[in-house]
Amino acid sequence: MNTDKPGKTSAKAALRRELLDARALLTKEDVTRAAAVLAACALDLPQLADARTVAAYVSVGREPGTRTLLDALRERGVRVLLPVLLADNDLDWAAYEGAEHLLPAGRGLLEPDGRRLGPDSVLDADAVLLPGLAVDGAGMRLGRGGGSYDRVLARLTAAGAHPALVVLLYDDEVVARVPSEPHDHPVDAVVTPAGARRFGR
């Protein structure tokens, strides 16, 4: 479900195209190199350093890599939850038990093969890693537009849950301004290969 409104939709769509075109130019080596640096920077972020449960995702294609970070969190004893895409675009969750327990799923995604814990299990997270394409100086995130994480964020808000919201990006994806709507949520921190930036909430 796309919840963007018409005027903002075209601005968001144009920015998404621009950012995805830039990602398409990255080599496999670029992605691998950035993933190692991202993991190191993210692990030092206080929001993740103190977390006992982290809701994350498995990066695919040229997304900023999360796999090194997922394994490092798990080695620390952190409980890592990964999303399972439901037919209505909402997200269920399952525990990450290692790369060997990831299975190909729809839309080119990888999902854990373990027991489904229910959409509300994200409420247990101390931090949520959100996929994104950009973030601006106010912490507003541009997602892919599918609406799955809008539902997750709405669920957290409705329950009064306040996990740290963190997005992993490439350096040039921190932009001057992201078109935003009332339902959009600012993140608490962005991590790029150049380092982490916190937005003071």
Q: What is the pLDDT of residues 104-139, one digit of tens each?
A: 998 889 999 999 999 999 999 999 999 999 999 999
Three-state DSSP state, 197: strand
Q: Which residue has the higher pLDDT, 2 or 29?
A: 29
Three-state DSSP state, 98: coil
CA distance 63 to 77: 25
* Mean pLDDT (whole number) for 142-150: 89
* Mean pLDDT (whole number) for 163-181: 94
CA distance 45 to 38: 11
Strand positions, DSSP E, the chain: 53-55, 79-85, 91-95, 102-104, 110-112, 127-130, 134-136, 141-142, 164-168, 174-175, 189-192, 195-198
CATH number of this structure's domain 6-198, picked from the four choices 3.40.50.10420, 1.10.10.10, 3.20.20.70, 1.25.40.10: 3.40.50.10420
Tell me what the pLDDT averaged over the chain comes to.
92
Question: What is the four-CA torsion angle of 180, 182, 185, 191, rounded to 10 degrees?
Answer: 10
* Mean pLDDT (whole number) for 144-150: 88
Three-state DSSP state, 154: helix
Q: For the chain, how many helices (H) and strands (E)?
A: 5, 12
pLDDT beyond 90 at 19: yes
8 pLDDT band, cuts 50/70/90, is: low
**Could you report the per-residue pLDDT of 76-106, keeping only the tens digit for each?**
999 999 999 999 999 999 999 999 999 999 8
Q: Are strands 127-130 and 164-168 parallel, antiparallel or unpaired?
A: parallel
Q: Could you count the other beta carbons within 10 Å of the beta carbon of residue 49? A: 12
pTM of the model: 0.91
